[in-house]
Amino acid sequence: MKHLTLLLSFTLGCLLFADAQKTSVEHTWYNAEKTSKIQIYKATDGKFYGKITWLAQPNDENGKPRTDVKNPKDNLRNTPLLNYPILKAFVQNTKDANVYEEGTVYDPKSGKTYCGKLTVEGKTLRLKGFVCGFSLLSRSSTWELAE
């Protein structure tokens, strides 16, 4: 019994420690329209990525899984949107731990990729996408925590 109590205490401690190591952006978020959920995670390269983990309408009009039909690369147009990476290579700002920059945002609705900036404000995530090199030409979207 003593060993079981010790094992449970150790396991709980590990779980709490692992959760404490999460950054503010590492969660699952609803997009602005609440038509998808995007899970943001830290990859082994130390950068942050986001993939679609849920779609309100996972299938197309033919009952098949939705694919990336707007992708500018013909060979990727049949790639399923579920688990598709749309946020790539974001770096946490060294001065503000709630800001993530230098990454790219892929918009499957248009098939375009933009440079981006993520800002976490409590249970909201502000996503700013802009034409790379022209941050004045931007569009913003507010995502909500889905967890």
CB atoms within 10 A of CB 97: 12
**Residue closest to 31 by CA, chosen among 97, 136, 129:** 129
Angle at 48 between CA 127 and CA 111, to 5 degrees: 55
Which is higher by pLDDT, 53 or 6? 53
3.40.50.2300, 3.30.470.20, 2.40.128.520, 1.10.8.420: CATH of 25-145: 2.40.128.520
- What is the tens place of the pLDDT at every residue in 111-147? 999 999 999 999 999 999 999 887 777 899 999 999 7
User: In this structure, what is the dihedral angle of CA atoms 92, 94, 98, 100, given to the nearest 10 degrees?
Assistant: -30
- What does the domain layout of the chain look like in residue ranges? 25-145
Q: Which amino acid, 139?
A: R
Contact 78, 66 (CB under 8 A): no
